[in-house]
Amino acid sequence: MFSGALHLFILSRRTILTSHINLPPLRVIFCSIGSFRFIQSHLIRATRDISTQGKGIQGAGHRFRGSRRRLVSPKKTLIMSRRAHTSAGPSKEKKSGEPRPSASVVLLSPENQVLLLHRVQTSSSFPSAHVFPGGNLSDFHDGGVPGPSEFKRHDDSLPYRLGAIRETFEESGILLAREGGRDRNPVNISNSERDKARKEIHKNERRFVEWLQDMGGVADTENLLPFTRWITPLNMPRRFTTQMYLYMLPLSTGNDPVISAARSEAMIPTPDGGVEITAARFDYASKWLEKQRKGEIVMFPPQCFLLHILSQFLVGPPPGSPSLSESIAYYHAQREKLKEFLSTAPTATEPKAVKHHTAQIPWAQKVISPTTLGIRKSDKRSILGLDKPGPELKGSDRGGDWERVVLVKFTKGVAKDVEVRSREEVLEEERHMEITANESKL
């Protein structure tokens, strides 16, 4: 689950989740970016305290061998999963280092706010991190996916969609399901039935789909919109291939008590009986990013990156004092622009980025496996490239986002100062600093 893992990053409170692991400090030794070189000794000192664990990015890096310009594969990066369900065959994946299938949901409220789950400071692992709901797929609940050697393992499919909806229900109590009849209204269940089902499903005492059928409903898989996939780089203790989805709650949600509670700061005990307590809250994407910039909350690169994309379309409440119908029309227009964006190519706007092949991959199809491009001299933050799809998809036509990079500093497993920037702008800044430094020596 994202709480147990992504992710070099964390995408959910149940993902790097899959197990509460402590990752070793990440050693990053870099060489050069474009036409400029990094001083090796400087980089070694700058990266000594870079490390990640649990639900966040675990970092990514290259190692020198022989020539300083010779780069070898990335050493560490994303993770996306948190708690694991019992399923067939996971032990083989752990031995081989194959990424484990997981899924996560970026959930929008009727006001186009985004749901994040907050783990409290006293949590036994990943304290205080804000993550999207999600987690590992379960053969028992969701069905199987193609084997590790197949490209289709990393494609959107029904098991990923079922897993995303199930995990969201287990972690937050929000059920993304509709009645099976013609009207397809949202399924409404009592709080007592909801809490009972979350515990039973979490313990594998009852199949999620069968429980839904007993409730007269079906998982609303058709309204999940694919929104990138993230694959953990090689050489990580645990790896994940995490399908992200966007789900838009109806603009009129009725009186669902869980959704209403999450519009404030709702405390929701996890299925383990409340040992790990989380808070669930909706807020605007720009507000979450502002809180992260101020150091008020902890978020890892995947969350920050996806919230950055959303903030360009979900720009907050309407101005003035609009009527209910005017507000609904306002939020509906935001959603339509966002949905068009997810399916449109090219995805880049900068001239050089438009020429890169990843610009022709719609956001719904992008696969991102972060790689470290270097360390900024000015603030010692890692520069993470997002264009590679990961080793499992080498030779395919998949890819991520070449136009942007993520800047981040890791301190004792915590991501700080996360920022999404233009790749060309960041690398040009580094080139300029290199030239200035060389001139000062003359």
pLDDT confidence of residue 290 = 96
pLDDT confidence of residue 79 = 36
Using 50, 70 and 90 to split pLDDT, how confident is the model at 257?
low
Strands 367-368 and 225-231: what pairing? Answer: parallel
pLDDT confidence of residue 440 = 77
Joined together, the tokens standing for residue 417 give: 């100062």
Q: What is the DSSP letter of 26?
A: P
Read off the pLDDT of residues 271-314 as tens digits, 9 standing for 90 and up.
555 545 567 889 999 999 999 999 999 998 999 999 999 999 99
Joined together, the tokens standing for residue 76 give: 């560490």
**Looking at residues 239-245, what average pLDDT do you find?**
94
**Looking at residues 418-441, what average pLDDT do you find?**
89
**Looking at residues 231-236, what average pLDDT do you find?**
79
Q: Is 36 helix (H, G, I), strand (E, B) or coil?
A: strand
Read off the pLDDT of residues 35-56 as tens digits, 9 standing for 90 and up.
333 333 333 333 334 333 333 3
Whether the CB-CB separation of 307 and 114 falls below 8 Å is answered with yes
Whether the CB-CB separation of 228 and 242 falls below 8 Å is answered with no
pLDDT higher than 70, residue 104: yes
Residue carrying the six token digits 């996890």: 270
Which residues does residue 158 pair with via DSSP β-bridges, in sequence order?
none
What SS3 string covers 283-322?
A: ECHHHHHHHHHCCCCECCHHHHHHHHHHHCCCCCCCCCCC
Task: Report the predicted TM-score, pTM, of the whole model to 2 decimal places.
Answer: 0.76
Read off the pLDDT of residues 155-196 as tens digits, 9 standing for 90 and up.
999 999 999 999 999 888 889 999 876 667 888 888 889 889
Choice among 118-122, 303-307, 377-381 with the minimum mean pLDDT: 118-122
For the chain, give the longest Cα–Cα distance.
78
More confident residue, 335 or 75: 335
